Amino acid sequence: KSDSDTYTCDIGDAQSRAKLVVQEIPTLFKQELQNEEAKEGKQVKLTCELSKPDTPVKWMKGDTVLHASEKYEFKQHGTVAELIIRDVKSIDS
């Protein structure tokens, strides 16, 4: 997408211009989240795989956006996004 722009070929007094528009391919899930079970007090990791590397991911619990904290840790390696939930409680279900 960042290559979209106007390009010019200049040969002294003459110029030729062209506009390039790059259409992004939408990001899809290659592997969706899977249901998990965990014992109270333990740690659980939720993982999904995306079709494009380093795509920004927003993690949510219900309608609430999660933020990195002692409770939640986010990791992303290429196309794999992970949410680690520490010290799970029944309220985390």
The number of beta carbons lying within 10 Å of the beta carbon of residue 81 is: 22
**Cβ(45)–Cβ(33) under 8 Å?**
no
Domains of the chain: 30-85 (2.60.40.10)
Count, residues in the chain: 93
Q: d(Cα 19, Cα 25) in Å, to the nearest integer?
A: 19
pLDDT score at 2: 85
pLDDT score at 1: 80
The number of beta carbons lying within 10 Å of the beta carbon of residue 92 is: 14
Q: d(Cα 45, Cα 13) in Å, to the nearest integer?
A: 62
Which residues of the chain are under the pLDDT cut of 50?
A: none
SS3 92: helix
